[in-house]
Structure 1
């Protein structure tokens, strides 16, 4: 077996769970070629991922001459497959014209990667995210006959859903990171595919994400880490901070991450007159984020479901914070209840409830006994159930079973 991992953007600061999976597979001596549709800036990746960056094969930007050569090769060498693949990509479950245009672009990319992977001797493709990269994997499958599987995460399975029923039917197997996600996927196709849709939780290296040695944390420092996206609930956190300020509670809040909501969040901080309390730190590499976890007092991520249906899956930052011995607060939104048991290894609150969030933050800041209980049990759960050397095992069994 020669396995190809196909992603949209690799290695990414916001998708560390993908390159951790690749690194653990490589540690197990799996032969893996990594392909990425897009190439990140070298300065925007963590130090631990530099080796993967150098070894990844990037599609874009495409040499135009090579693009034409690949399409002509399949058009004249396999004309029926070429035309049928194009037809299948342009038909199927598209919600609108934009979706068909995207599928046309994926067809163009897939033909090039079909040539690259065939020459490299790839025998199976596993893609991350059910949308862009799996659409390209589907093109390669239809054109070159290479089997594929994919991992569905969040927006790609309950919002984007590009050709999702067709992918569920064709894939050798499908992985998702929660039982909540699995049940959602099974509802997207009018046939029984339950036997090949599997839950594999993301893991992390608990030897790297550890509590601080001396436990010298900054008292009442509230930390949140995540892309500045509406689904993360940062506006609710900022409003909770305004409530804390009005109660004369002494605290600081640091929000680590970058994204499309930055300008809106900056305006909200200013409107609430919280400039002295809330700091938008921006994106940080993994090495610096671990230091943030080890320095903070409380971690808060009040995820929400937004009007267009977008929502988070099982946020990896919750696992990272828990592994670092940081007590966490999140919402009962999607799959968080699969990770956190209320008042045992974290606190679960209702979405869109800044007052409830503020009270939970105050409770964790002031109740030393509860803090110790939550963080000790959280660390134990990470070691026992979410260490990446354990969470990789179900995936290895899938490769053994299907490949």
Structure 2
């Protein structure tokens, strides 16, 4: 529930006259940082924990049960299957949740058509371990797989997902709610910003190293978000001698994030494949920055090139290539006038291809068709 793309999709379904129930592992995760977000305020009714009072012990049970985890998890999912029975369509965000629902369907406890949306680590991790075929039950019992990029689509088809059941469905943002505002840095201190969880795949280490090598010295860098690498990244900034120009703000309320984006010039997210296989889908944070008029810099990683075309709608460097990333940032620093048409093209790209209003309409049409497939248990 901390993911804005989940909240946006729920909002879109509600706007199209659907009744939405929300079942998840954690019922409040992320809310403390999004309490001012109207999407939280508009959530329909009570958010239900799938395992009820046992939900809080799920991490402990997973650790304790070891190799028996799949059996224990499935048994508890079956006990709580009644929470899904009234649905006309079940939408599982992340392949792992799709697999849980598919196993319940296979055992005849529920009969609603299952749509599984694949986002990132649910594909990247199994690709890394050569276990992507674990989703065989999802492919068999689910009616539709919706990977968020073409890279994931090809990976799922390669391990047995029927091509007719696989449709790329991007996540998106609402351009109408994001003011486009170009700000030149020609006579101003150049302001870089990143908004993300501080995990390996976000590549903030490489942003710091590239900025430390930047010839232009009148810049500042704000990093919004928390995560396990926060203290390590603070130490790296100090070791690189740039701690006085880098501010780690931690998680911030949604309204403050929007304001800080409006005040910045360049959005940096040099994503990488993590050592455990974790991958991006297509980061929504990049979409928000592009819609807002920032110049965006990222990497040739996963589905990101489907969003950003180098030197046309933003800038891309190879993963973990500090010299190449420094080169992109240096060019941007010296060419604000040439970056303005790139930022405008980025906004148009979002309006045309990553517009949540249009994507939600398409999703609602899919759901309406699929609900006709529901059969009684």
Normalised-by-shorter TM-score class: 0.7 to 0.9
User: Matched residue of 1:198: which SS?
Assistant: coil
Residue number among 151, 165, 170 corresponding to 2:117 in the alignment: 151
Higher RCO (C-alpha 8 Å, min separation 6)? 2
Which digits, 9 at most, give the CA deviation of each residue in 1:126-184, with x for residues without a partner? 110001x2233224323413232210111001214583122122211110111111011
Which digits, 9 at most, give the CA deviation of each residue in 1:251-303, with x for residues without a partner? 11111111121122122112212210111111123222111211111111111
Report the alpha carbon displacement of residue 324 of structure 1 after superposing the two structures with TM: 0.2
Residue number among 275, 283, 287 corresponding to 1:307 in the alignment: 275
Report the alpha carbon displacement of residue 52 of structure 1 after superposing the two structures with TM: 4.4
Match of 2:178? Answer: 209
Question: Does the 8 Å contact 1:340/1:347 carry over to 2?
Answer: yes
Show structure 1 runs of 5+ residues with no match: 1-9, 65-96
Match of 1:85? Answer: none
Which digits, 9 at most, give the CA deviation of each residue in 1:293-350, with x for residues without a partner? 1111111111111333222111111100000011101111111111111111111111
User: Residues 174-185 of structure 1 correspond to what in structure 2 (within 5 A)?
Assistant: 174-185=145-156
Which digits, 9 at most, give the CA deviation of each residue in 1:36-64, with x for residues without a partner? 22122542324223324572432267347
User: Residues 63-212 of structure 1 correspond to what in structure 2 (within 5 A)?
Assistant: 63=53, 98=66, 100-118=67-85, 121-131=86-96, 133-141=97-105, 142-147=107-112, 148-160=114-126, 161=132, 163-189=134-160, 193-212=162-181
- With over 3 angstroms needed to count, the CA separation of the structure-2 counterparts of 1:321 and 1:63, relative to structure 1, is closer
User: Matched residue of 1:29: which SS?
Assistant: coil
Show structure 2 runs of 5+ residues with no match: 55-64, 127-131, 372-377
Aligned residues: 350
For 1:63 and 1:262, the matched residues in 2 are separated by 32
Structure 1 residues 310-319 or 37-46, which shifts more? 37-46
Match of 2:198? Answer: 228
Q: Aligned-pair RMSD on alpha carbons?
A: 2.2
For 2:225 and 2:133, the matched residues in 1 are separated by 27
For 1:112 and 1:375, the matched residues in 2 are separated by 51
Q: TM-score, normalised by structure 2?
A: 0.86
Q: TM-score, normalised by structure 1?
A: 0.81
For 2:338 and 2:80, the matched residues in 1 are separated by 53
- With over 3 angstroms needed to count, the CA separation of the structure-2 counterparts of 1:168 and 1:61, relative to structure 1, is closer
